[in-house]
Homo-oligomer: A and B are copies of this chain.
Amino acid sequence: MSQNTSKKIINNPLKCADELLDGLVLAYDGKARKVGTRSIVMNDLRPNAPALLVGGGAGHEPIYHGLVGKGMADGAACGDIFAAPPPDIVLEATQAVNRGKGVLYLYGNYAGDVMNFDIGAELAAEEGITVKTVIIADDVASAPPSKKNQRRGVAGLVPIVKLAGAAASQVDTLDELVRIAQKACDNTRSVGVSTKPGSIPATGAPTFELANDVIGLGMGIHGEKGIGLIPMCTADELAPRMLDLIFGDDLALNAGDEIVFFVNSLGSTHMMELLILLRAARPILEGRGLRIHQTIVDNIVTCQEMAGVSFSITKLDAELKKLWDLPCESVGYTKL
């Protein structure tokens, strides 16, 4: 079995989420601050504007809390390693980002996150803060289109948060922000594969098990089941299998459509492999007449040293394209 023998440069294995958040705040060089127990919020927020709050479990850095920044999220509620932020942390972050126009919660579809953000929203309502929620569920391999509410949120959250963050820098009402964030979600699909597990910081144990001669097709970032196991194969063989899962889904991708194409490493898969996969994928996309407005090749949605990759496609209409082209800056993703 392919295993990860953990040998991590950390301190107390049970304090990783707190310590990495301290480090993350320092990485922002004064542009963001720590709030309460484990939230991070930008310092210069546009007055009288609706707020964009993201969040989720730690251990997947630079998401979620590393997507806070100019033209990105206003703040993030950070959970413990692989655990949703508890409601009091969601509330502290909500209070810190709210500027009287309400707060959009935008996060991936995991049961713990949904439960805790929902309770956070109730607590915020008691304080007079309007909260609306858009849930990211872009993983086509996690459930069929008819059961979208069961789909996981994976790497598509990066283009989605970028688009919602751009919207948050422009619009005046929470409803407008909700509308655009929902459209970004509706227009985004992802599929991931895994070749090796990462490690659990507290124990050093692998996050899951996977035989050496197989790839987990459609596997989630914690090793959740997807389509199933397929034999280890080449980049040229794998790219069309992944893209076919997106093409077979319910997002219309027609000739002439403009897209953002994001090739993500889940942790230790090297950029060399991402680039070789991009070389395999791009002619397939162009063969369908899709026009690639921007390509992203990076490791932004990770799970420790997990090996694997994901493809995400976001279809841009005129409104989303305009928002996409705005610059943004964060620890996780920066664009001129």
Contacts and interface: CB of A to CB of B under 8 A. Distances in A.
Interface of A: 2, 5, 7-11, 16, 19-24, 26-29, 58-59, 61-62, 66, 70, 193, 195-196, 198, 201, 212, 232, 234-236, 238, 267-280, 282, 292-295, 297, 299, 302, 304-305, 307, 309, 327-329, 331, 334-336
A212 B3 CA distance: 14
Given A27-B297, A295-B27, A8 B196 contact: no
Given A232-B7, A304-B272, A26 B295 contact: yes
Given A20-B279, A328-B336, 4 more contacts: A9-B309, A29-B295, A59-B272, A267-B270
Nearest to A199: B270
Contacts of A212: 5, 7
Contact of A29 (B198, B275, B294): B294
Contacts of A21: 275
Contacts of A232: 7
A201 B29 contact: no
A193 B9 CA distance: 10
Number of this chain's copies in the complex: 2
Kindly list the 4 A-B residue pairs having the minimum CB-CB distance in the complex, ordered from nearest. A23-B275, A268-B268, A61-B271, A23-B279
Nearest to A212: B7
B305 A307 contact: yes
B27 A235 contact: no
Contacts of A293: 29
Contacts of A195: 7, 9
Contacts of A292: 29
Given A271-B66, A335-B334, A336-B70, A9 B299 contact: no
Contact of A279 (B22, B193, B274): B22
Contacts of A8: 270, 273
Nearest to A195: B7
Contact of A10 (B66, B272, B278, B336): B272
A282 B19 CA distance: 13
A309 B261 CA distance: 29
Contacts of A20: 271-272, 275-276, 279
Given A27-B297, A61-B275, A269 B9 contact: yes
A294 to B, nearest CB: 6
A97 to B, nearest CB: 21
Nearest to A330: B336
A180 B335 CA distance: 26
